Chains A and B, each alone.
Chain A
Amino acid sequence: MKSVVIIGAGPAGIRAAQTLVAHGVRPILLDEAARGGGQIYRRQPVNFKRSAVKLYGFEARKANALHQTIDELREQLDYRPDTLVWNAEDGALDTLHEGRAARLEFSRVIVATGATDRVLPVPGWTLPGVYSLGAAQIALKFQGCAIGERVVFAGSGPLLYLVAYQYAKAGAKVVAVLDSSPFSAQARALPGLLSQPATLAKGIYYRSWLTAHGIPVHQGATLKHINGEQRVQSLNWSNSSGKHTLDCDAVAFAHGLRSETQLADLLGCAFAWNPLNRAWLPQRDSAGRSSVAEVYLAGDGAGITGADAAEIAGERAALALLEDNDYPIAPQRGVQLEQALGRIDTFRHGLERAFVFPENWATDTADDVMICRCEEVRAGDIREVVREGHWEINRVKAHCRVGMGRCQGRMCGAAAAEIIACESQRAVSDIGRLRAQAPIKPLPFGLEIEP
């Protein structure tokens, strides 16, 4: 019998699973990680004993609630951790679990694949000691490791202050926080941000805490260059008052998050340009229905809205799935959830205004900056292909290999798009969309095949 499948056991996937179970459905929950929680509420290994407050701070209650939910659901769903979905076609998902390939047919699927950092490279970003903000946070949450002893946090987005705060709290030396967004932008964004006063308060708290503990926080600060021979030794940054240097042994940087949309693409979902995310996203209605009848979307994988929204969207998508299969559901619940999502969306608009995308990044990026580290493609290589007359991103990829390597553009795609758009003098929405190709993550030769 074909199953109802959820891909991803983060906030969206777990709430979707809970909702389905509550209505008598026994879904299959596939997750690439060993333990449920997603990236934001990633759980430490079983034998680690740090407290939730220590790991998740203000979010400890939410993290605990989510972990408890999946633990309690264990008997009522078919939970398959350590399972990569590497391909989707024809009403089936292709999975890889402990070196074994298998195929899973589904009747309906909720795609809750989450997000990764949006990385805008700077010279020196491939040096050992440079991490994305999300990776720096995971090192701390999951393994209790810091990425260095003297760390600079740079870029923009809510994660910037949160991770810096978490590092400082954990006892790491935070050398500085370099926020590329100017203070004026954040002041302008305040009306939108006030729609979620508690979340705004936390953001303000992190920043105030950092300042109160003597950690320099610079706004309108651009990370220019990461220096070092074998690994990070210092960095250069600039602001309106001039050029500066900081000694450090690690850097964490990112400019917000980007959605993991490849599975939605392979499943055939229609995509549309989303100016707020500055990305192509699978289209969905307010309940999470995609353009494909059997496919539902929830959480950051379909557009960045954060963990709270992901929980709500997971439940909403599950209700939509139930409704479409004639299960009786409480009609007002869907309305409430969509209203809550609407409020978060207002906040999200505010965030985007507060942490503005650095529009001049592509112009300011020198030709020798590595954009695609898998294939070692530099900004100048991309520009050269554009100057030959190519502007469509898949075409540029074919000519210079950008996005062709191990990460399949998950890491470099956003940056490559900015360079192509800038060089071809087109809008970033007018250069096409990097097509997803299986496998979503590398697939080993010699794998076993489930009959």
Chain B
Amino acid sequence: MIEVDAVIIGGGIVGASAALFLSQAGRRVALLERDFCGSHSSGVNYGGVRRQGRPLSQLPLSQRAHEIWGRLPQLIGIDGEYQRSGHLKLARSLNDLRALQDYAASSQGFGLDLQVLERSELRARFPWVGEVAVGASFCPDDGHANPRLVSPAFARAARHHGAQVHEQCAVGAVEHDGQRFRVSTQSGLELRAPWVLNCAGAWAGKLAGQFGEPVPMHAGHPAMLVTEPLPWVMNASTGVEGGGIYARQVARGNCVLGGGQGFALDDARARPGQHAVIEILRQAVELYPFLEGAQAIRTWSGTEGYLPDRQPVIGHSGTQPGLLHAFGFAGAGFQIGPAVGQALAEIICSGASTTSLDAFSITRFHSISVA
């Protein structure tokens, strides 16, 4: 029997950063990961480290994450290819540009320092953007990083600070005996802890349901691809107002592009699907003409949890004291993940998160019957 202060289920960036912050605070932590830490959505996402475009309710947490990202090497021991290149959100119509202007106005005070660029300014500052863009909103301190490296490094750092990290260790049963949780794994581990953190991503709904608070979460599979290394031109990570495709270029020269949805191969694996891949290849040359004739060398997808309002669930269970949830990040958990982990650690260490989590309570689904 392993006695710890907290059992964290899910070794993605949220669970691993919670493990890291709790260990740093001297708490005994066991991090349980069914596969390898950071090998699902946290490790295979697009790699955007972006505050711009998030719902205003997420901005305080996102801003907090921004500060954590600023000291990434001290925290996890690697730079994770993180760079504050800026994030450029493109508008393909004047209506879209107006939406960007509205967002810039309403997000004032959150520290994003957005700059709305009209067509001529956009051309002058980012000449590689295609004619199809009529304007953009630029967030100078947003950026991108390599999720394949960053997310596993949070787990490694947690282990370094004393956390037990169990990989390839699927959870079997989670019960509460009135005092503590008893968690058993399929590999035969038995753990006891006053706290359980449900950070199981797209698979977190099962545990929530087991404790009487089912959530209407569905799995999504963002399609992604990468080019061979190209001459360096993209000096910002990009997205498009109203959705569509997003693209960034890494220091090596490869461009990473995402957009559209793939499909599930099974419960744990997904592929991008030819439709989404072709759509990216087609749309990309309008937005980024320099890609004409470049080659896509690899495609991939992952499995991510989406709730109907596209907002995550973060915070206390409404039914089981000691149970904390953090999941359903709707494809936007990478940037905010470390702050969520820190907020969860604060709940355990000091009773409450210093950033309000009210907007993300699971209780918003309590009255909803799950289809």
Contacts and interface: CB of A to CB of B under 8 A. Distances in A.
Nearest to B36: A395
A103 B296 contact: no
Contacts of A408: 297-298
A26 B282 CA distance: 33
A443 B284 contact: no
Given A392-B36, A446-B281, A439 B299 contact: yes
Interface stretch (B172-180, B235-243, B268-276, B340-348): B268-276
Interface in B10-45: 36, 39, 43
Interface in A362-411: 388, 390, 392, 395, 398-399, 404-406, 408
A362 to B, nearest CB: 23
B296 A439 contact: yes
A446 B284 CA distance: 8
Contact of A398 (B39, B227, B263): B39
Contact of A443 (B152, B265, B281, B285): B281
A399 B152 contact: yes
B149 interface: yes
Contacts of B227: 445
Interface stretch (B65-73, B131-139, B286-294, B357-365): B286-294
B274 A94 contact: yes
B300 A437 contact: yes
A442 interface: yes
Contact of B278 (A89, A390, A405, A449): A449
A449 B282 contact: yes
Given A443-B277, A443-B295, A399 B156 contact: no
B148 interface: yes
Contact of B298 (A94, A399, A404, A447): A404
B154 to A, nearest CB: 14
B295 to A, nearest CB: 4
A68 to B, nearest CB: 36
A438 B156 contact: no
Nearest to B286: A446
Contacts of B278: 101, 447, 449
Nearest to B165: A389
A242 interface: no
Contacts of A437: 271, 298-300
A398 B80 CA distance: 12
Contacts of B36: 390, 392, 395
The winner among A438, A445, A449 for most chain B CB atoms within 10 A is A445
Interface string B38-75: 01000100000000000000000000000000000000
B228 interface: yes
Contact of A406 (B228, B274, B277): B228
Interface string B200-229: 000000000000000000000000000110
B233 to A, nearest CB: 14
Interface string B138-159: 0000000000110010001000
B226 to A, nearest CB: 8
Interface string A222-239: 000000000000000000
Interface string B229-268: 0000000000000000000000000000000000101000
A257 B274 CA distance: 30
Given A445-B284, A449-B278, A406 B273 contact: no
A241 B299 CA distance: 50
A113 interface: no
A268 B265 CA distance: 9
A90 B264 CA distance: 11
B295 A446 contact: no
6 contacts: A408-B297, A408-B298, A439-B277, A439-B297, A444-B281, A444-B296
Given A444-B294, A445-B296, 19 more contacts: A89-B263, A101-B278, A399-B149, A406-B297, A437-B271, A437-B298, A438-B272, A439-B297, A443-B295, A444-B295, A445-B281, A445-B284, A445-B285, A445-B292, A446-B281, A446-B282, A446-B285, A447-B281, A449-B282
Closest 6 CB pairs of A and B: A442-B295, A398-B148, A94-B274, A445-B291, A446-B292, A446-B285
